[in-house]
C-alpha cells in the first residue's frame, strides 16, 4: 500500500539552507491566505497498486483540515481507467469553537489495458489555494479478468466465473440473491446455498438478516463470511457473502424459502444513484431510508437412495468416507479394559453418520458403544470424523481377535454404494492379576491347580440346545379341586377326631351316659333272645328275656340299678318322667304276666307270646320317645 | 350309526393324539436341523411353533432363546430364556445362557443388597407349582400328626417332637410359597425387543422422548394405555412410556 500526503511534499527537502529558503519564498508568495490554509492536508491512497486488467483499484482521497472544507478533489484525466465514484464519508469535530473536519472520497478504478500508469496528482481547491497529492504509480498486469480486488479485512474473493451475474437488478442501489450449486441431489447429499448482499450505496446501520425457511434440510453454516467487490452490468458493488451447506433429510421436492434483509441506506431521492451528483451535505444530513430486500424461493429435487445394490449393513450414510480402527493396546490382561476405536472420516454430513455395528466379539465382554463427532468446514465443504469407542473386557487368555470391520455408504458422485473395511485386529491377553478366567466370565481365585497348564478358554458362546426331552406338553398343574380337597378335608377329619375323642372320654367318665347309649342296644339283644325262645317254644325263657328287655332298658334310661330295681320303682320313676297312666298300667300288666309265666310255668298259647312281644316292643318305643323328649327338655 | 357315534369320536381322538405327538417330534427335529445348519431364523420359528402347539416346556423356550440369540435378536432371546427359567428355575444351562446374553446389554448395577439377592435367589429357585405341592404335603403330614395327637391315649415324646417338626416344616413351606406367590404377583416384567425403544413422557408420540432403552434390557411393566406401555428401570429410577410392540412381556 502506498500513501502520499500533500503537506509532506517538502519532507525530502534536504539541507537546512534549502528549507529556510523555501519557507521564505512561500511566505512572500502566499501571504495571509497561506496562513489560513496551512492546516489543510490532502492525501491519496490506492490499493492495490498491482492489479490485472479488469480488476478494481480502490482510490481513497482524504482531506483533513481545521476549516470548513467545501470543495471536492479533482481527479486527473485517466484515459486508461474506467472511473466510478463509490461515495464519500465525513467526520466533523468541534473543539473550543474550532472546526476540524475529515472527508474521504472513494473511487473505483478499473484498468482498461496492461502497463505502468500514474494516478495523479489529485488536486483540491480550497480558500483560493490548490492542494495536490503526489502521483501514485500503478502497475497493471496482462491476462484476462482477474478476481475482484478484496476489500481490506474481507475474506478471500471468489474465483473468476464463480459468481453468476445477477439478472434484473440493473440500476438498483442494493439487492440480495440466493443461489444453490445444484438443484437435484440425493437424500443427505449437500447443497451449497450462497446468500449475497450487493450494495453500491452507503449502508447506514447494521442490516437485519432473516434466513430462508429450510424445512426438510439439515443446515450447516460455512464460515467465514466474505466481502468483496464485483461488477454487475458495469456497476461496482460491494458484496457480502454467506454460505451454508444444506443436507436434505427426505426424498421429494423441497423448497428453500425466501431470505429477507432489512437495510438502512442513504436516501438519494428518486433520481437514482449518482454519487458525483450529490452535494456534500446531502448524505451528511440524510436520515436514510429502510429498504426490505427479498429473494425468490428455490426448489430442490431430492432423489431417494437407490434400493438396488444396497448392502444389508447400510445405515443411511451419504458422502465419501474412509474407515480406520484400532485397539488402544496390543497386550492386556484378563479383566482389563481395552478400547476399540473406529473412525469414520470423510466428506458429508458427519452428524448423520449411522451407527457402526460391532460384530459379535468372542472372548470379550462388550459394553455399549459411545460415539463422538468432529466437524470441519473448509473450502465450502463439510468434512469431519465420527469416532465410535467400544469398551471391551477380555475374559479369556490367549490371542483374541476383533474380526474385520465393514462400513457402507452411498457415494452420490458415483451414484453407487461403496464399502470400506479394515482388517482384523488382534490382542494378546495374559492372565489377570491373581485370577484366571472362568467359562462363565467370573474371575476365580488363582491357586496351584489353576496356575498349571490346565483348561484354557479359546472361545466363548452360549450352551448348546437341549436335545433330550419329551416332546409332549408338560404335566398340567393340579386342578383346583385337588387343592380344595387337600387343604379342606384335613380340618374336617380333625374335627371328627376331636368329636370322637370327646365322646369316648364321656363314655369313660359318665356311666349314666354310657348306660343310656347302651340301653337300646341291650334291649334289642334281649328282644332278639325272646324272639328266638318264642320260636323254639321255650316260654319261660321267652318271658325272662322280655322282662329283661323292659326292665333293663328302663333302668338304664332312668339311671336305676339294673339288678335291684323293683316294678314299683320303675313305675314311680316313669310317672316322674311324665309317662301316662295307660302306658304305665300296660307295663305293670306285662311285667306281671312275665313274672307269672316265669315263676308259674304252664302252657301258653303262641298267639299270647307274639302279642306280648309286640306289646313289649310298643312299650319300649313309647317310653324311648318319652325319655328322649324329657332328656332334650 | 347314531348309537356308535361316541365310539367313533373316541377312536378319532385316540388316533389323533399320536399324530400330534409325531408332528411335534418332527417339528423339534426340523428346528434342531435348522439350528445346526445355521438357519437360526427358521429354527426360532419352529421352536416358537412348538411352544404354540402346547409343548411349552422349559427346554423348548431354552432352545428358542438360543436360536433367537444366534439370529441376532437379543431381546427375544432374553424373553425366551426368562420363560424357560420360569418353568425350570434351577436349570443351570438356562441361567448360564441368560447371563451370557445379558452381557450384551448394558445394565445398571442392581441396588439390592447381597442378602436380598440371596433371598430372592432362594425363593425363585423352585417353581411355584412345586412349592405349592410341597406346602400341601407338609400340611397333610401336619394334619395326620394332629389327628394322631387327638386320637391316641399315649402321647409320647416322639409324637410331640414329630408334631413340632411338622409344624415348623409346614410354616417353612407355607412361607416359601407365599413369598414366591407375592414375588410373582408384585411385579410384571418384560424385555425390550426393538433395537432402541424410545421412552416418552406420556402414552403418545406427541410426548418428548425422555430416554432410550437398548434391546434386551429387562424392564418392569407398570401399566398400559392403548398401544403404549409404562415401563420402569428400577436400577436407574427411570419411568417412561414405550410402544407396546417394543416390549415382550413375561407370561
Judging contacts by C-beta atoms under 8 Å, the chain A residues touching residue B97 are 462-463
Using a CB-CB cut-off of 8 Å, the residues of chain B touching A483 are 132, 136
State residue A449's pLDDT score.
Answer: 38
Note the pLDDT of residue A156: 41
Q: Which residues, at least 6 apart from A565, have a Cβ–Cβ distance to it below 8 Å? A: A551, A555
Q: What are residue A428's DSSP bridge partners?
A: A331, A399
Specify whether the CB–CB gap between A63 and A124 falls below 8 A. yes
Residues paired with A195 in a beta bridge: A178, A242
Q: What is the mean pLDDT of chain A?
A: 77
Residue A363 grid cell: 472372548
Q: Which residues of B touch A497 (CB under 8 A)?
A: 147, 150-151
Q: In this complex, which of A368, A465, A473 lies closest to B32 when CB atoms are compared?
A: A465
Between B25, B27, B143, which is nearest A493 by CB? Answer: B143
* A169-178, A612-621, B91-100, B135-144: least confident range: A169-178
Classify residue A477 by its DSSP letter.
P
A-B interface: how many C-beta pairs under 8 angstroms? 86
d(CA A42, CA A61): 7
CA-CA-CA-CA dihedral for A485, A490, A491, A495, to nearest 10: 130
State yes or no: ipTM above 0.90. Answer: no
Q: What is the DSSP-derived secondary structure letter of residue B244?
A: G
Q: How confident is the model at residue B2 (pLDDT cuts 50, 70, 90)?
A: low
Q: Residues A338-369: pLDDT tens digits?
A: 888 889 999 988 878 877 777 778 788 877 77
Tell me whether strands B228-233 and B188-192 are parallel, antiparallel or unpaired.
Answer: unpaired
> How far apart (Å, rounded) are the C-alpha atoms in residues B55 and B48?
10
* The pLDDT of residue B74: 92
Residue A256, helix vs strand vs coil: strand
What's the pLDDT score for residue B134?
92
- The answer to whether A492 contacts chain B (CB < 8 Å) is no
Q: Can you give the pLDDT at residue B109?
A: 63
What proportion of chain A, given as a percentage, has pLDDT over 90?
A: 20
Distance in Å, alpha carbon of B100 to nearest chain A alpha carbon: 7
Give the pLDDT score at A7. 30
CA distance A445 to A434: 7
Record: contact B66-A464, CB cut-off 8 A: yes
| First-to-last C-alpha distance (Å) of chain B | 45
Taking CB atoms and an 8 Å limit, are B93 and A466 in contact across chains? yes
Helices (H), chain B: 5-36, 40-52, 58-70, 74-87, 92-102, 114-124, 128-151, 157-186
CA dihedral B175, B180, B181, B187 (to 10 degrees): 140
Does position A43 have pLDDT exceeding 90, yes or no? no
A391 interaction partners in chain B (CB closer than 8 Å):
none
| pLDDT single digits (tens) A283-309 | 444 456 788 888 989 999 999 999 888
Q: Do the Cβ atoms of B35 and A465 come within 8 Å?
A: yes
Find the residue in A nearest to B65 (Cα). A465
The shares of helix, strand and coil residues in chain A, as percent rounded to the nearest 5, are 25, 35, 35
Check pLDDT > 80 for residue A271: no
**pLDDT tens per residue, range A372-396:** 778 888 777 888 888 888 878 888 8
The predicted structure's pLDDT at residue A154: 37
> Is the predicted pLDDT of residue A573 greater than 80, yes or no?
yes
Which pLDDT tens digit goes with each residue over A417-458? 998 989 888 888 887 764 433 433 433 333 343 344 567 667
| Average pLDDT of the residues in B186-193 | 90
List the beta strands (DSSP E) in A425-489: 425-430, 435-437, 443-445
Residues from chain B that touch A509, judged by Cβ atoms under 8 A, are none
Q: Which set of grid coordinates corresponds to residue A440?
A: 462363565
Could you read off the pLDDT of B195-218 as tens digits, one per residue? Answer: 889 999 999 999 999 999 999 999
Q: Inter-chain contact A487–B132, Cβ cutoff 8 Å? A: no
Q: Does B177 touch chain A (CB under 8 A)?
A: no
Cβ–Cβ contact A367 with B under 8 A: yes
Residues of chain B in contact with residue A491, where contact means CB-CB under 8 angstroms, are: 143
Looking at A15-24, B14-23, B230-239, which range is the least confident one?
A15-24
Strand order in the sheet with A217-232: A174-180, A191-199, A235-248, A217-232
B236 touching A (Cβ < 8 Å): no
Residue A177 phi, psi dihedral angles, 5° rounding: -140, 150
Amino acid at each position: 500500500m502506498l500513501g502520499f500526503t500533500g503537506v509532506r511534499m517538502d519532507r525530502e527537502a534536504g539541507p537546512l539552507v534549502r528549507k529556510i529558503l523555501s519557507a521564505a519564498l512561500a511566505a512572500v508568495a502566499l501571504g495571509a491566505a497561506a496562513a489560513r490554509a496551512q492546516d489543510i492536508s490532502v492525501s491519496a491512497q490506492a490499493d492495490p497498486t498491482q492489479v490485472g486488467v479488469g480488476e478494481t483499484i480502490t482510490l481513497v482521497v482524504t482531506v483533513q483540515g481545521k476549516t470548513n472544507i467545501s470543495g471536492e478533489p479533482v481527479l486527473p484525466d485517466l484515459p486508461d481507467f474506467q472511473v466510478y465514484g463509490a461515495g464519500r464519508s465525513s467526520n466533523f469535530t468541534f473543539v473550543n469553537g474550532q472546526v476540524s473536519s475529515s472527508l474521504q472520497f472513494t473511487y473505483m478504478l478499473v484498468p482498461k489495458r496492461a502497463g505502468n500508469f500514474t494516478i495523479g496528482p489529485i488536486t483540491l481547491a480550497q480558500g483560493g489555494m490548490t492542494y495536490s497529492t503526489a502521483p501514485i504509480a500503478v502497475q497493471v498486469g496482462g491476462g484476462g479478468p482477474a478476481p475482484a480486488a478484496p476489500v481490506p479485512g474481507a475474506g478471500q474473493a471468489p474465483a473468476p466465473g464463480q459468481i453468476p451475474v445477477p439478472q434484473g437488478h440493473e440500476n438498483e442501489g442494493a439487492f440480495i440473491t440466493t443461489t444453490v450449486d445444484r438443484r437435484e441431489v440425493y437424500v443427505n447429499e449437500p447443497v451449497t446455498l450462497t446468500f449475497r448482499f450487493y450494495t453500491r450505496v452507503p449502508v447506514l446501520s447494521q442490516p437485519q438478516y432473516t434466513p430462508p425457511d429450510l424445512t426438510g434440510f439439515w443446515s450447516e453454516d460455512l464460515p467465514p463470511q466474505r466481502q468483496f467487490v464485483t461488477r454487475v452490468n458495469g456497476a461496482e458493488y460491494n458484496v457480502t457473502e454467506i454460505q451454508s451447506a444444506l443436507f436434505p433429510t427426505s426424498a421429494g421436492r423441497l423448497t428453500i424459502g425466501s431470505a429477507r434483509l432489512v437495510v438502512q441506506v442513504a436516501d438519494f431521492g428518486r433520481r437514482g444513484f449518482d454519487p458525483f451528483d450529490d452535494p456534500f451535505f446531502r448524505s451528511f444530513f440524510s436520515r436514510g431510508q429502510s429498504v426490505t430486500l427479498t429473494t425468490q424461493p428455490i426448489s430442490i429435487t431430492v432423489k431417494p437412495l437407490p434400493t438396488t445394490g444396497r448392502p444389508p449393513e447400510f445405515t443411511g450414510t451419504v458422502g465419501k468416507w474412509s474407515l480406520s480402527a484400532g485397539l488402544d493396546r496390543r497386550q492386556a490382561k484378563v479383566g482389563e479394559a481395552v478400547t476399540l476405536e473406529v473412525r469414520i472420516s470423510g466428506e458429508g454430513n458427519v452428524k448423520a453418520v449411522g451407527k457402526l455395528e460391532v460384530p459379535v466379539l468372542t472372548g470379550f465382554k462388550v459394553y455399549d458403544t459411545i460415539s463422538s463427532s468432529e466437524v470441519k468446514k473448509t473450502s465450502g465443504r463439510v468434512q469431519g470424523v465420527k469416532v465410535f469407542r467400544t469398551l471391551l473386557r477380555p475374559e479369556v487368555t490367549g490371542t483374541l481377535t476383533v474380526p474385520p470391520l465393514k462400513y457402507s455408504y452411498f457415494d452420490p458422485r458415483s451414484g453407487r454404494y461403496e464399502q470400506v473395511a479394515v482388517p482384523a485386529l488382534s490382542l494378546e491377553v495374559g492372565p489377570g492379576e491373581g485370577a484366571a478366567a472362568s467359562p462363565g466370565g467370573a474371575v476365580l481365585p488363582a491357586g496351584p491347580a489353576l496356575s498349571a497348564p490346565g483348561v484354557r478358554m479359546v472361545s466363548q458362546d452360549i450352551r448348546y440346545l437341549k436335545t433330550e426331552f419329551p416332546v409332549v406338553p408338560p404335566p398340567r398343574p393340579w386342578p383346583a379341586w385337588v387343592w380344595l380337597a387337600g387343604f379342606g378335608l384335613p380340618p374336617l377329619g380333625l374335627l371328627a377326631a376331636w368329636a370322637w375323642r370327646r365322646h369316648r372320654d364321656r363314655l369313660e367318665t359318665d356311666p349314666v351316659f354310657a348306660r343310656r347309649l347302651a340301653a337300646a342296644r341291650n334291649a334289642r339283644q334281649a328282644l332278639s333272645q325272646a324272639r328266638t325262645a318264642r320260636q323254639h317254644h321255650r316260654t319261660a325263657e321267652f318271658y325272662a328275656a322280655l322282662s329283661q328287655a323292659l326292665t333293663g332298658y328302663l333302668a338304664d334310661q332312668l339311671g336305676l340299678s339294673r339288678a335291684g330295681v323293683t316294678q314299683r320303682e320303675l313305675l314311680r320313676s316313669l310317672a316322674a318322667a311324665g309317662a301316662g297312666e295307660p302306658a304305665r298300667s300296660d307295663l305293670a300288666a306285662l311285667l306281671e304276666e312275665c313274672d307269672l309265666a316265669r315263676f308259674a310255668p304252664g302252657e301258653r298259647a303262641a298267639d299270647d307270646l307274639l302279642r306280648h312281644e309286640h306289646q313289649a316292643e310298643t312299650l319300649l318305643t313309647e317310653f324311648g320317645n318319652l325319655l328322649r323328649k324329657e332328656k332334650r327338655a | 350309526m347314531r348309537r356308535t357315534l361316541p365310539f367313533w369320536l373316541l377312536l378319532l381322538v385316540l388316533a389323533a393324539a399320536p399324530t400330534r405327538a409325531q408332528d411335534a417330534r418332527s417339528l423339534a427335529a426340523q428346528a434342531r436341523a435348522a439350528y445346526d445348519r445355521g438357519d437360526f431364523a427358521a429354527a426360532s420359528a419352529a421352536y416358537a411353533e412348538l411352544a404354540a402347539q402346547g409343548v411349552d416346556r422349559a427346554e423348548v423356550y431354552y432352545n428358542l432363546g438360543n436360536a433367537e440369540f444366534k439370529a441376532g435378536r437379543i431381546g427375544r432371546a432374553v424373553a425366551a430364556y426368562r420363560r424357560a427359567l420360569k418353568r425350570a428355575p434351577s436349570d443351570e444351562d438356562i441361567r448360564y445362557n441368560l447371563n451370557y446374553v445379558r452381557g450384551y446389554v448394558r445394565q445398571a448395577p442392581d441396588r439390592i443388597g447381597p442378602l436380598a439377592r440371596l433371598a430372592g435367589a432362594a425363593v425363585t429357585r423352585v417353581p411355584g407349582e412345586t412349592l405349592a405341592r410341597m406346602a400341601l404335603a407338609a400340611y397333610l403330614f401336619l394334619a395326620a400328626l394332629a389327628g394322631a395327637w387327638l386320637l391316641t391315649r399315649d402321647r409320647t415324646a416322639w409324637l410331640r417332637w414329630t408334631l413340632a417338626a411338622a409344624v415348623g416344616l409346614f410354616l417353612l413351606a407355607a412361607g416359601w410359597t407365599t413369598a414366591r406367590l407375592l414375588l410373582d404377583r408384585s411385579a410384571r416384567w418384560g424385555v425390550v425387543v426393538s433395537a432402541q425403544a424410545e421412552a416418552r413422557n406420556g402414552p403418545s408420540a406427541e410426548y418428548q422422548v425422555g430416554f432410550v432403552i437398548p434391546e434386551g434390557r429387562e424392564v418392569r411393566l407398570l401399566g398400559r394405555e392403548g398401544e403404549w406401555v409404562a415401563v420402569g428401570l428400577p436400577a436407574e429410577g427411570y419411568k417412561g412410556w414405550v410402544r407396546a410392540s417394543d416390549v415382550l412381556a413375561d407370561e
